[in-house]
Amino acid sequence: MNFPASPLGPTNLGRIVTTLCCAFAIVASHAADTAGPSMSATELAAKLSAFQQDGESYVRLRLDVTGATKVALQLQIKQRRTKTETEIVYQVLWPKERKGESILLRKTGERPATGTLFRLPDILKTLDGEQMKGALFGSDLTIEDIIENFFAWEHQADVGREIVDRVNCQILESIPGKGQHSSFASVRTWVDMRRLVPLRVEKYTASGELARRIDFTKVTTDDINRHIPADLTVRGRRQDSVTELDGSKIRHDVTYTDREFTPEGLKELKPPTSASK
């Protein structure tokens, strides 16, 4: 990959997404006036991990892939995240020809994540370990990115400071411990310590190769008054591809049935019920 070199370079072993990463989640965070540069790596990782464990939530997300491959999707995300278990459903709302395409992911404790894919008209497929490493709806995120919580990994280290978008960030390096399953050997996260929000995530392979870079280009406040990354840009192994996501519309006033997080529930495309009703 032709990424600009990190001034710190990869470690001898080489996520957030994420994850996302993330991921779409793809990452949630919380404003804390007491946070400061003296916070240890372990304390920082614990806070960022706890902020992701925010119970039931609902997100509307736009996903755009540009480059040799072009994809434009509107998605809904249903999530139940606790300290012991994470359940996530991604469902395509638009375009019409892909409406209803869905993915169910579940992770309990330190066990490997599991996944189920639903494709129209009525195809359910269990995802194996290699398929979990595949692209999420053709994007530069993998399915693994959106279920993995690298802030909960055993090894956390403060590896320096760097300015990102005029913000002085603490760089947190996360490395999985024995029994913690990941395709990545290490993840570095650039954290805005004033708002306790990630501004960049880089994921490295065991050989030290940069496999994924996620830049958070906008920070906003969610419905429970937390600072969260809103717009993000993802660059992966495909040099001719960039994925952009806008997922700032998140709600926590929702309630789900257990059926919605089952393979059969993937076939039902509906918004959540408000918890206040």
User: pTM of the full predicted structure?
Assistant: 0.83
pLDDT of residue 68: 86
pLDDT of residue 110: 87
Alpha carbon 128 to its chain centroid, in Å, reads: 20
- 106 with 261: CB under 8 angstroms? yes
Instruction: Spell out the domain ranges in the chain.
Output: 41-262
Cα–Cα distances in angstroms (integers) from residue 135 to residues 34, 92, 234, in the given order:
38, 15, 12
Please, is 150 exposed, middle or buried when counting C-beta atoms within 10 Å of its C-beta (0-12, 13-18, 19+)? Answer: buried
pLDDT score, position 38: 64
Question: Which burial class, exposed, middle or buried, applies to 122 when counting CB atoms under 10 A from its CB (0-12, 13-18, 19+)?
Answer: exposed
Query: Mean pLDDT, 10 residues at a time, over the chain (277 residues)?
Result: 45 38 38 53 96 92 93 96 95 96 95 95 94 94 95 97 95 95 96 95 97 93 86 92 87 94 95 72
Q: How far apart are CA 50 and CA 59, in angstroms?
A: 19
Q: CATH homologous superfamily of domain 41-262?
A: Lipoprotein localisation LolA/LolB/LppX (2.50.20.10)
Q: Rg of the chain over CA atoms, in angstroms? A: 18
Using alpha carbons, list the distances in angstroms from residue 167 to 24, 164, 189, 198.
23, 5, 14, 11
Instruction: Please name the residue that has the structure tokens 């090894």.
Output: 155
Q: What burial class does residue 34 get, using C-beta atoms within 10 Å of its C-beta: 0-12 exposed, 13-18 middle, 19+ buried?
A: exposed
pLDDT at position 6: 42
Q: Nearest CA to 113 among 88, 137, 80, 138?
A: 88
Backbone angle region of 152, left / alpha / beta, with phi > 0 → left and psi within -120 to 50 → alpha: alpha
Q: Are strands 55-67 and 241-251 parallel, antiparallel or unpaired?
A: antiparallel
